[in-house]
Amino acid sequence: MRRTFGKLLPLALAAPFLLAGCGGAGDETSAPPPPAGPATGAPAAGNIAASDAAPKEGSPPRKVVTPETVIDSKGLSKVVKEEEKGGEAAASPSPTDYLWQLAKDELIQDEPLTPKLPRPLPALTLNVYVPAANPLTKGKVELGKQLYFDPRVSLDGTVSCATCHNPEKGWTDGAPVSTGIDGLKGDRSAPTVLNTAYGKTMFWDGRAPSLEAQAQGPVQNPIEMGKQSYKQIIERLRTISGYREQFQKVFGTDVTLDGMAKAIAAFERVTAVSGNSKYDKYTAGDLKALDDSEKRGMVLFGLRASPDDDFKTDAVLKKAMCTSCHVGFNFTDEQFHNLGIGWDPAQKSFKDKGRWAVTPIGARNNAEIGAFKTPTVRDAARTGPYMHDGSLKTLEEVVEHYNKGGNPNPFLDNDLKKPLNLTDQEKKDVVAFMKALTGEEIAVELPKLPAGPDGKTPDPRSALKAPAPKTAFHPSTVR
449 makes contact with ligand HEC (CB under 6 A): no
* Residues sharing a CB contact under 8 Å with residue 274, sequence separation 6 or more, in sequence order: 118, 194, 195, 376, 378, 379, 439
**Rounded to an integer, what distance in angstroms lies between the CA atom of residue 371 and that of residue 355?**
6
Amino acid at 239: T
Considering only 100, 149, 198, 203, the residue that binds ligand HEC (CB under 6 A) is 203
**Rounded to an integer, what distance in angstroms lies between the CA atom of residue 189 and that of residue 391?**
9
Amino acid at 101: Q
399 makes contact with ligand HEC (CB under 6 A): yes
Which residue is catalytic, options 82, 83, 224, 268?
A: 224
Answer whether 163's CB lies under 8 Å from 466's CB.
yes
Considering only 121, 339, 437, 464, the residue that binds ligand HEC (CB under 6 A) is 339
416 makes contact with ligand HEC (CB under 6 A): yes
Amino acid at 472: A
214 makes contact with ligand HEC (CB under 6 A): yes
39 makes contact with ligand HEC (CB under 6 A): no
Q: Residue 18's CB: how many other CB atoms inside 10 A?
A: 23
450 makes contact with ligand HEC (CB under 6 A): no
Considering only 237, 402, 435, 449, the residue that binds ligand HEC (CB under 6 A) is 402
For 196, list phi and psi in degrees, rounded to 5. -70, -15
User: What is the total count of residues that contact ligand HEC (CB under 6 A)?
Assistant: 57
C-alpha angle with apex 335: 436 to 284, nearest 5 degrees? 30
> What are the angstrom distances between the C-alpha of 27 and each of 195, 214, 336?
22, 9, 18
**Rounded to an integer, what distance in angstroms lies between the CA atom of residue 279 and that of residue 252?**
43
**Rounded to an integer, what distance in angstroms lies between the CA atom of residue 427 and that of residue 299?**
12
With b meaning 16 or more CB within 10 Å and e meaning fewer, what string describes 48-77? bbbeebbbeeeeeebeebbeebebebbebe
71 makes contact with ligand HEC (CB under 6 A): no
303 makes contact with ligand HEC (CB under 6 A): no
Answer whether 352's CB lies under 8 Å from 17's CB.
yes
274 makes contact with ligand HEC (CB under 6 A): no
User: Shortest gap between Cβ of 109 and ligand HEC (angstroms)?
Assistant: 25
Of 28-36, 44-52, 163-171, 288-296, which part binds ligand HEC (CB under 6 A)? 163-171
Closer to ligand HEC at the Cβ: 109 or 423?
A: 423
User: Shortest gap between Cβ of 202 and ligand HEC (angstroms)?
Assistant: 4
* Residues sharing a CB contact under 8 Å with residue 443, sequence separation 6 or more, in sequence order: none
**Rounded to an integer, what distance in angstroms lies between the CA atom of residue 100 and that of residue 259?**
8
Considering only 178, 293, 359, 409, the residue that binds ligand HEC (CB under 6 A) is 178
Active site residue 445: no
User: Shortest gap between Cβ of 128 and ligand HEC (angstroms)?
Assistant: 18
53 makes contact with ligand HEC (CB under 6 A): no
22 makes contact with ligand HEC (CB under 6 A): yes
382 makes contact with ligand HEC (CB under 6 A): no
The residues of the shown chain that bind ligand HEC, judged by CB under 6 A, are: 20-22, 148, 159, 161, 163-165, 178, 180, 186, 188, 190-191, 193, 196, 199, 202-205, 211, 214-215, 218-219, 224-225, 264, 320-322, 324-326, 337, 339, 341, 372, 374-375, 377, 380, 383, 386-388, 395, 398-399, 402, 413, 415-416, 430, 434
Q: Give the catalytic positions in this structure.
A: 224
